[in-house]
Amino acid sequence: MLKDVRFAKSHEWISPVAGGVATVGISAYAVEALTDLVFMQLPAVGRKVKAGESIGEIESVKAVSDLYAPVSGEIVEVNSTLPDHLETLGQDPFGAGWIVKIRPDDPANIDALLDRAAYEALIGSQPH
Amino acid sequence: MSDSVTPPLPRPTSLRETPLGQWHAAHGGRMVDFAGWTMPVQYASIVDEHLATRSSVGLFDVSHMGRLSVTGPGALDWLESMLTRKVAGIVPGQFRYTLVTADAPAPVVILDDALVSRDSDAADGTPRMGLVINAGNRERVVAWLRSRLPATGVDLVDHTLDTAMIAVQGPKGVDLVAGLSSEGDGTRIRALGNYRGTTATVAGHAAAVSRTGYTGEDGVEVTVAAVDAVAVWEAILAAAVPLGGRSCGLGARDTLRLEAGMPLYGHELHADSDPFALGLGLAVNLEGRTFPGRGALAVLKAGQPERIRIGLDLGSKRSAREGNPVLGGAGGEIGVVTSGSFAPTIGHAVAMAMVAPAFASEGTVVEIAIRDARQQARVVGLPFHRRPPGGGKPPAAG
């Protein structure tokens, strides 16, 4: 599955579209870099978002980071159990640690994001 | 995700490194620029490092702090004339928390907060004094003090770069360091009252050991020659790890001091701060004394501060951060957050803030504007966390 996901430079990953919907999370590299996650704010279901728009917050002991929409579309589902179980992000960032599901306005926009090799080159290490 | 997780930019080469800097980088320390020094903010988890310090022992490299010696026949009297805290009457081995203030009619100019100490006297009975100051203020404090040195009788030497300072903090810290000393030295270390120090041989190296720290825990700070720093650090760490102890970075040091309600220069304490409004009145002794800035401090002491320092319990996982406005009943701004974080010992977020006295009573409910959100918070007494009874005797007044 990981070989098919695409990455934003801001460290979100997005899955291929299935049934019109793609899944979004943050990379293992990002989880590792943040460490000590304590708080997450998710967007409202039904919200229309533009690529690059902040759709939530992830807060560690040291700092707050925005979570950005990797593509434009509509938020159709959020992982509402995740904020109370942020350890899941460390355990399974590309699976159970998914954050939102988005219905992209144009699924082709996903293909324009970084593939795994390009993302690894960006961070200089493995994404998991 | 924001830029905070992108790979770090190459650091400017002008950053200073402590004698332990290579050790930190080789042992997983995540190095950041702090006050011109490259320092570990954490090794793995700030929360784990914080909790290890509360339950067992944490090691902190605090070598970036400035360490000055003040010696000569006039040293004690000169410091008495320069510091807000009384130095006359201090006995060998005693430490006091003080402010360093400059000459200014108004407003006050606080250059730093510091620990002043009287170390063991010279063989001829002359007092030897010490000062520990903040890294970010070191150069200007040294310049200020040098500008006020008398022509003869007082020698001021900055030992920051030829020594290292290791804070060994937590309920097991004193015993651990005592156990790395000879029987006689160990007995003296265990018997130290709070804000008292002694010389000792620690792990085979000459050291100054004081029952001081910045975490709200019992513990000691160990100062050694720079060349001995790695050997002493590794010996203390090797003894600490079986007890559940670990090396800690500046991130845990900051959350520990926040829980302990301790002000930090540049956050709670600024050049123009009113120390009485900060609850630091004990660091200012005006009685029958003359020192730079005394007049401005006397005016502040007699006046009513517009804002005073309080603790805020948010009860949330979302943290307030420095600069967040504090809002009163009608939504108007009544203060500002000076430090805030998730507090690992407490399990949720707390903050320190400066607020209007009308909103400072314990139990008062206020709101904090955190980005787009409004977070309720309750005014509580400081510190947020108080260590269980035991350990060293409390410091003497003065």
Share of chain B above pLDDT 70, in %: 94
Looking at the structure, tell me whether residues B317 and B354 fall in a common domain.
yes
Query: Residue B365 maps to which CATH number?
Result: 2.40.30.110
CB within 8 Å: A29 and B317: no
Nearest to B307 by CA among B339, B334, B337, B269: B334
What is the SS3 assignment for B295-314?
A: HHHHHHHHCCCCCEEEEEEC
Residues of B in contact with A12 (CB under 8 A): 1
What mean pLDDT is predicted for residues B356-366?
Answer: 97
Q: Determine the distance in angstroms separating the CA of B48 from the nearest CA of chain A, rounded to an integer.
A: 9
Q: Which residues of B touch A35 (CB under 8 A)?
A: 42, 44-46
In-domain check, residue B54: yes
Query: Looking at the structure, do residues B167 and B255 belong to the same domain, yes or no?
Result: yes
Instruction: Give the CA-trace dihedral at A93, A99, A105, A106, to 10 degrees.
Output: 0
ipTM of the assembly?
A: 0.89
Give domain status of residue B206, yes or no: yes
pLDDT tens track for B157-178: 999 999 999 999 999 999 999 9
Residue A87 distance to chain B (closest CA, Å):
13
Statement to judge: residues B196 and B181 lie in one domain: yes
Final residue of a domain: which of B242, B259, B276? B259
Contact A61 B341 (CB under 8 A): yes
For residues B38 and B70, state if they share a domain.
no
CB contact under 8 A, B2 and A59: no
How far is A57 from A91, CA to CA, in rounded Å?
Answer: 19
Instruction: Report residue B107's pLDDT band, with 50, 70 and 90 as the boundaries.
Output: confident
Does the beta-carbon distance from A39 to B316 stay under 8 Å? yes
**B310 and B354 together in one domain:** yes
Domains in chain A (CATH in brackets) are 2-123 (2.40.50.100)
Residue A7, CB-side half-sphere exposure with 13 Å CA sphere: 25
For residue B81, give the CATH number of its domain: 3.30.70.1400
Q: Give the tens place of pLDDT for each residue, B257-315.
A: 999 999 999 999 999 999 999 999 999 999 999 999 999 999 999 999 999 999 999 99
**Interface touch A29/B5, C-beta < 8 Å:** yes
Residue B330 has a pLDDT of 84
Of B144, B179, B198, which one is at a domain's C-terminal end? B144
B163 DSSP β-pair partners:
B225
Residues of B in contact with A113 (CB under 8 A): none
Chain A residues closer than 8 Å to B1 by CB: 10-12, 26, 30, 58, 65-68
How many domains are contained in chain B?
3
Pair B31, B84 in one domain: no
Can you state the angle between helices B46-55 and B250-259, rounded to 10 degrees?
60
Per-residue pLDDT, B256: 98
Q: A73-114 pLDDT, tens per residue?
A: 999 999 999 999 999 999 999 999 999 999 999 999 999 999
Domain-located, residue B396: no
Which CATH number goes with the domain that contains B224? 3.30.1360.120
Give the phi and the psi of residue A49 in degrees, each rounded to 5: -125, 155
In a domain, residue B266? The reply is no
Domain range for B343 is: 306-380
Do residues B181 and B311 both lie within one domain?
no
Q: Which of B144, B174, B205 is the last residue of a domain?
A: B144
CB contact under 8 Å between B318 and A39, yes or no, is yes
Q: Is residue B395 part of a domain?
A: no
Q: Taking residues A41-48, what's their average pLDDT?
A: 97
Same domain, B41 and B171: yes
pLDDT score of B3: 47
- The mean pLDDT of B107-123, rounded to a whole number, is 94
CB pairs under 8 A between A and B: 66
